[in-house]
Amino acid sequence: MRLLVCGGAGFIGSAFVRLRQADHGDEVVVLDKLTYAGRRENLEGLDVRLIEAGIEDPHAVASAMEGIDAVVNFAAETHVDRSITAPDAFVTTHAVGTWVLLEEARRRGVRYVQISTDEVYGSIEDGSFTESSPLQPSSPYSATKAGADLLVASYHHTYALPTLICRGSNNYGPRQYPEKLIPLMILNALHGDRLPVYGDGMQVRNWLYVDDFARGIGTVLAHGTPGETYNVGGPDECPNLEVVQRIIQLTGNDDSLIEYVTDRPGHDRRYSLGSEKVRALGWEAQVRFLDGLQQTVRWYRDHRAWWEPIRSGDYREYYRRQYGTQIKGGRALS
Ligand code: NAD
Ligand code: DAU
- pTM for the predicted model, two decimal places: 0.98
For ligand 2, whether the C-beta of 203 sits within 6 Å is yes
pLDDT, mean over the chain: 97
CA of 108 to the centre of ligand 1 (A): 24
CA of 171 to the centre of ligand 2 (A): 10
Catalytic residue among 26, 56, 104, 119: 119
pLDDT, tens digit, 9 for 90 and up, residues 140-152: 999 999 999 999 9
139 and 189 share a domain?
no
CA of 255 to the centre of ligand 1 (A): 32
Tell me, what's the pLDDT at 330? 47
Q: Considering the domain boundaries, does residue 61 fall inside one?
A: yes
Domain of residue 247, CATH code: 3.90.25.10
Instruction: Give the count of alpha carbons within 13 A of 163, CB side only.
Output: 29
296 and 160 share a domain?
no
Q: Considering the domain boundaries, does residue 244 fall inside one?
A: yes
Q: Please state the domain count of the chain.
A: 2
25 and 62 share a domain?
yes
User: Per-residue pLDDT averaged across 207-234, rounded?
Assistant: 98
> Is 149 noted as a catalytic residue in this protein?
no
50 and 156 share a domain?
yes
134 and 13 share a domain?
yes
| Separation of alpha carbons 216 and 167, rounded Å | 10
332/231: higher pLDDT: 231
Which ligand has the nearest atom to the CA of 77? Answer: 1
188 and 133 share a domain?
no
Element (H, E) at 100: helix 98-108
For ligand 1, whether the C-beta of 183 sits within 6 Å is no
41 and 187 share a domain?
no
> Is 228 noted as a catalytic residue in this protein?
no
Query: Residues 102, 58: contact at Cβ < 8 Å?
Result: no
> Is 104 noted as a catalytic residue in this protein?
no
For residue 106, count other CB atoms closer than 10 A to its CB: 16
Q: Is the pLDDT of residue 333 over 50?
A: no
Confidence of residue 327 (pLDDT cuts 50, 70, 90): confident
CA dist 121 → 53, 134, 169, 306 (Å) = 30, 6, 11, 33
pLDDT, tens digit, 9 for 90 and up, residues 168-186: 999 999 999 999 999 999 9
122 and 260 share a domain?
no
pLDDT, tens digit, 9 for 90 and up, residues 275-323: 999 999 999 999 999 999 999 999 999 999 999 999 998 999 999 999 9
pLDDT, tens digit, 9 for 90 and up, residues 194-210: 999 999 999 999 999 99
258 and 160 share a domain?
no
Q: Considering the domain boundaries, does residue 322 fall inside one?
A: no
8: CB partners within 8 A, 6+ apart: 14, 16, 17, 28, 30, 31, 32, 43, 48, 50, 74
CA dist 333 → 46, 251, 265 (Å) = 31, 10, 33
User: Per-residue pLDDT averaged across 244-250, rounded?
Assistant: 98
Tell me, what's the pLDDT at 329? 59
For ligand 1, whether the C-beta of 51 sits within 6 Å is no
Checking DSSP bridges between strand 2-6 and strand 27-32, what pairing results, if any? parallel
Q: Considering the domain boundaries, does residue 275 fall inside one?
A: no
Give the residue among 118, 129, 144, 177 at the shortest CA–CA distance from 314: 177
CA of 191 to the centre of ligand 1 (A): 27
* Counts for the chain of helices (H) and strands (E), in that order: 13, 12
Q: Considering the domain boundaries, does residue 131 fall inside one?
A: yes
Which ligand has the nearest atom to the CA of 271? Answer: 2
Catalytic residue among 77, 104, 112, 141: 141
Q: Considering the domain boundaries, does residue 333 fall inside one?
A: no
State percent of the chain over pLDDT 90. Answer: 96
What is the C-alpha R_g of the chain? 19
81 and 148 share a domain?
yes
- Closest-lying ligand 2 atom to the alpha carbon of residue 322: 36
Q: Nearest C-alpha to atom 34 of ligand 2 is from which residue?
A: 197
Domain of residue 132, CATH code: 3.40.50.720
Q: Considering the domain boundaries, does residue 60 fall inside one?
A: yes
Tell me, what's the pLDDT at 331? 47
For residue 24, count other CB atoms closer than 10 A to its CB: 13
Domain limits at 82? Answer: 2-170+208-232
60 and 196 share a domain?
no
223 and 241 share a domain?
no
Q: Considering the domain boundaries, does residue 273 fall inside one?
A: no
Instruction: Give the count of alpha carbons within 13 A of 134, CB side only.
Output: 2
Query: Residues 170, 205: contact at Cβ < 8 Å?
Result: yes
For ligand 1, whether the C-beta of 172 sits within 6 Å is no
